[in-house]
């Protein structure tokens, strides 16, 4: 893709459109988006019909639960 600096593709105005960074070992991720706000499809203003009840963001939470146990 292409780096963006302008709204709406870069709503928070972060340099180079960065929304997240992860440490080299993968243990820490810092994110600007708020997946906890849209993990259910109903919270999205639009979504494809094939999503079902959970949005793709739910995978973050399922993976965390799997990992932590």
Q: What is the pLDDT of residue 18?
A: 85
Query: What's the confidence (pLDDT) of residue 1?
Result: 62
- Omega prior to 8 cis, within 30 of 0: yes
- pLDDT value of residue 41: 92
Q: Mean pLDDT of successive 10-residue segments in the chain (69 residues)?
A: 73 81 92 87 89 91 92
Residue-level pLDDT at 65: 94
Record the tokens describing residue 64, joined without a space: 């965390």
Sequence-distant (≥ 6) Cβ neighbours of residue 13 within 8 angstroms: 5, 7
pLDDT at 42: 92
Angle at 8 between CA 48 and CA 55, to 5 degrees: 25
Residue 22: φ, ψ to 5°: -130, 140
Backbone angles phi, psi at 47, to 5 degrees: -160, 155
The H or E element spanning position 6 is: none
């Amino acid at each position: 893709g292409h780096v963006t600096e302008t709204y709406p593709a870069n709503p928070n105005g972060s340099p180079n459109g960065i929304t997240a960074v992860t440490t080299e070992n993968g243990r820490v991720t810092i994110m600007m988006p708020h997946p906890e706000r849209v993990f259910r499809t109903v919270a999205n203003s639009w979504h494809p019909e094939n999503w079902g009840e959970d949005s793709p963001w739910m995978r973050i939470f399922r993976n965390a639960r799997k990992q932590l146990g």
